Structure 1
């Protein structure tokens, strides 16, 4: 009886703790959401605040996105959607390939390669910017989609994650596929890859979030306004020559929707992939 009561108190305490953390995490978005319905003059006077003030609410900020001036916002939105989709799909495909190979196959230098993957995870992106930039100039990929995507087609964290997940895959199924006449690629795509779907779901959200929010590297590679991604475009609305709060507030709110929809679609795979992949070793 005492154990059940203690367990109930513990669960209530954890619920309250996570509820407080959730409120703290959502608080900035709450202020942003309210600010998107307020006029620019109100934002300039008081900034973002928690006051509801429904008498000041209007849809002018959102209507501004559909004007001639706001049309560039949708160019940025399209660029971000295209880049995020291409980079996420390419990263999942190639990173899963590498992680699966490191987990399943025994070959000379395997541990060394995995050590290099772990070492690469420790290197900050800022250190790699100059050599990556020179590489993009050499291949004439400045101000292009491939220039943004190619350096992150295979990411160390994704390789590490897929490798850890693949370590827990049943090897008997792979042996059975070989006996049935499957090639190594056939066994991977037909037998092993379907078993890795939770890992794909989890990493799809993480990779899409990384690509969608990426600012530094696209800012260096992309030159023209028409090629800007959403983070760069929104950042450009704040300048010493004037701040376009109408587009900034409403545009920032709408920028959350793709990642939110993606998480709702893959949340079960996300949780399963993280929990299962975390205990494989």
Structure 2
């Protein structure tokens, strides 16, 4: 089999996978443009009347009685941005330190990181909840952000990536009179951009889609995040499809934009950082 035929076959297979992956999102967008009554009557159907599609649901979502949606959106954006930036800063420094420096207890710290990675999140919820109550973090942004800001998986990833960095740069920076923090921020951090790109997307997705912990910590309606707010539209007495579908579509847009802008660093970070160390 020639290379052209092989490439064509791979392209067709990937195209089929892409169609299957994008089909749910396509129907989600179409459903968001249809009246909720039609969803109840016909459900999701391949027989689409494009002349009946309109943006009335989006107008209702952003300007109607459900204006609280914008508060949910704002809460999710703030929590995601702050959580992602803090997580990248702290975990990159810890992972870098474990990879580049030799100190007493280094292996013990790394073993603790691995052990924490194996602990299910559900086991940590109760002690974290009691800690949040005692520190007054209930129903606040910090209560959602702080408990999971230093992710062990992110530390492990940055450690593996930092092991591929040349240690000679440390000595060169010290000879030039740079302190350890300046070496990290001025010399090493630019070399770790692919790792930051990969973990930035993963951490942002985790924070944006996080449901269980914000559901436990947040109590007032105007402090809810998007996943919880959209879930509240599903009730035993009926589902508000007019708001639910356009809200779900808009909730996907930030992650798509983030991946499009950062896809090269994401792929490079996973392929390089994942095989070295």
Q: Same fold (TM over 0.5)?
A: yes
- The correspondence for 2:106, drawn from 91, 110, 117, is 110
- Counterpart of 1:196 in structure 2 is 192
Q: Displacement of 1:66 after TM fit?
A: 2.6
Note if 1:37 corresponds to 2:33.
yes
SS at match of 1:65: helix
SS at match of 2:34: coil
SS at match of 2:62: coil
Note if 1:124 corresponds to 2:88.
no
Backbone CA RMSD of aligned residues: 1.3
Hey, what's the Cα distance between the residues in 2 that align with 1:11 and 1:135? 55
Q: Displacement of 1:241 after TM fit?
A: 3.2
Note if 1:264 corresponds to 2:247.
no
Q: Displacement of 1:183 after TM fit?
A: 0.8
Alignment of 1:49-198 (within 5 A): 49-198=45-194
So what's the TM-score if we normalise by structure 1?
0.95
Hey, what's the Cα distance between the residues in 2 that align with 1:49 and 1:120? 45
Q: Deviations over 1:22-78 (max 9, x none)?
A: 222212111111101111111011222333211321211111113331210000000
Using a 3 Å threshold, how does the CA distance of structure 1 residues 65 and 112 change in structure 2: closer, same or farther? same
- Counterpart of 1:211 in structure 2 is 207
- Counterpart of 2:270 in structure 1 is 274
- Counterpart of 2:240 in structure 1 is 244
Hey, what's the Cα distance between the residues in 1 that align with 2:205 and 2:98? 25
Q: Deviations over 1:157-206 (max 9, x none)?
A: 11011111100001111110011111111111111111111111111111
Note if 1:28 corresponds to 2:19.
no
So what's the TM-score if we normalise by structure 2?
0.96
Q: Displacement of 1:100 after TM fit?
A: 0.3
The gaps in structure 1 that reach 5 residues or longer are none
Hey, what's the Cα distance between the residues in 2 that align with 1:137 and 1:169? 42
The gaps in structure 2 that reach 5 residues or longer are none
Hey, what's the Cα distance between the residues in 2 that align with 1:184 and 1:41? 62
Hey, what's the Cα distance between the residues in 2 that align with 1:82 and 1:272? 27
Does the 8 A contact of 1:34 with 1:50 survive in 2?
A: no
Hey, what's the Cα distance between the residues in 2 that align with 1:115 and 1:276? 23
SS at match of 1:62: helix
SS at match of 2:165: coil
